[in-house]
Amino acid sequence: MEIEVDGRGGKVDWSQGVIIPAGTPHAFSSNTCNTFLVLDVPLPSSYTQKSEAETIKRLNEKSFFPVRPEIRHLLDYASRSVPLLTSSSEVSQAWSTLLMSSLVQPHSSVPDHGQFTLARALTHIENHLDSHLTASEIARASGTSERRLYVLFEQHLRTTPFAHVTRLRLNLAMDLLRDTQLSITEIAHRVGYADQSALNHALKKSHDLTPALARKNSRANNMQTGTNNQQ
């Protein structure tokens, strides 16, 4: 999404977010169908705790910010926990507090270009999970060297690009096995594996499950949950 805040232009995507202080003129445009998370923070009042008021004040001093790994983790949680966040004010308040605290961490006041590079790499990976991904391709797409890419993944995520790709692919495969009626072969292709056998090997190694057993277990859990809800 292209956005202009008080005369300053920029964009909001998986690599970058924006703070819009209350009353600030802004306009935005998006030519495609997208999903955005908006945290609407009330203005401080006489009932606002001092620490929260200070956080809001510091947020208003910011503009565009990189979606660092710790923020991305919070966003990933939110995308997977919509029913819980919308039904529990306690959970949504705790999540919001964590997000706001992450945004005002001292080191985020001067954006680290490495964080932007890593955010671009993560965005490229998430947008191409169904294709053949290599470290050199990810590095090229994020505007850095392959060596620097490995350093950034180790520094911020304590993992390697390959391990991160594998984790995302298997998480997505588990979601598709649970939530769709797609064949296991189709799911394997959608998450970047050549065939069902390759997905079977990866899932067995990581979760000690076959795709068929993972689907069976998830359906059994759903049935059990439904039974408990009716009682």
Residues forming a β-bridge with 153 = none
User: Which of residues 119 and 136 earns the better pLDDT score?
Assistant: 136
State the residue for tokens 């795709």.
Answer: 211
pLDDT score, position 192:
94
Mark out the alpha helices in the chain (DSSP H runs).
50-60, 69-80, 82-87, 89-103, 113-127, 135-142, 146-157, 161-179, 184-190, 196-207, 211-230
Q: In residues, how long is the chain? A: 231
pLDDT score, position 157:
79
Contact assessment for residue 164 and residue 142, using Cβ atoms and an 8 Å cutoff: no
Q: Which of 3.30.530.20, 3.20.20.300, 3.40.50.1820, 1.10.10.60 is the CATH number of 163-230?
A: 1.10.10.60
Collapsing DSSP to helix, strand or coil, 205 comes out as helix
User: Which of residues 229 and 36 earns the better pLDDT score?
Assistant: 36
pLDDT in tens, 172-209: 999 899 888 999 999 999 999 999 999 999 999 998 99
Q: How confident is the model at residue 47 (pLDDT cuts 50, 70, 90)?
A: low
pLDDT in tens, 154-173: 987 789 999 999 998 998 99
DSSP labels, 79-146: HH-HHHHHH-HHHHHHHHHHHHHHHT-GGGSS--HHHHHHHHHHHHHHHTTTS---HHHHHHHHTS-H
State the residue for tokens 């004010």.
Answer: 89
Residue from 34, 31, 8 nearest 21 by CA: 8
pLDDT score, position 108:
43
pLDDT score, position 140:
94
